[in-house]
Structure 1
């Protein structure tokens, strides 16, 4: 496991080719969170398989969704294969209501919390 970011209760780690975010991301940490994830994604070999795990993000927020969408953009630009996206139940509800779930790769899993 590698820690990419640990700031004010928000943590981003990499484990088994998965970006794993936890905590309550707010606007103060959003740019650092997105940048840390994109830097890691940019260092992966073209064609690598990656996963995103936001099941530890307890509160649904536009910040967490924006960060996830930025990671998706970075991964696609790098030519990475996104195997799955795990969302906390609150994030899954918001992405579904906003119609953003259709932008996510399948399988996308909502994890009850």
Structure 2
């Protein structure tokens, strides 16, 4: 996996399956995290199928959900299919409370 972004304890890595985020994503790192992931998504060929793995994000954070939603939008724009979204247990609960669980191809809790 190649590291696309790292700040404090937040890390974004890209691999053959897609993007993986770990650490406590807050609003301070959300914008640069979105930018790094979006740049990578734009480099993927149209029709590619990817996984967005946020299983390493243990802190409940609406900032992390904002990043996820922006990447989902960016992927759609680039013609990239998000085959699966992996969430940590705290993010899965937040996604469910926000009513977003039905909009994402979730794989269950990490």
TM-score, normalisation: structure 1: 0.93
Equivalence for 2:79: 79
Cα displacement (A) at 1:108: 2.7
Aligned-partner Cα distance in 2 for 1:89–1:9: 19
Residue in 2 that maps onto 1:40:
40
Task: Give the corresponding residue for 1:5.
Answer: 5
2:14 equivalent in structure 1: 14
Tell me, yes or no, if structure 1 residue 96 matches structure 2 residue 89.
no
Residue 27 (structure 2) aligns with: 27
Q: CA deviation at 1:17?
A: 2.6
- Runs of 4+ in structure 1 displaced over 3 angstroms? none
1:109 aligns with 2:108: yes
Give, in angstroms, the shift of residue 92 of structure 1.
0.3
- Structure 1 regions of 5+ residues with no counterpart? none
Deviations 1:77-105 (A, max 9, x none): 11111110000000000000110111112
Instruction: Give the CA RMSD over aligned residues.
Output: 0.9
Query: How far apart in 1 are the matches of 2:52 and 2:45?
Result: 17
The unaligned stretches of length 5 or more in structure 2 are none
Q: How many residues align?
A: 110
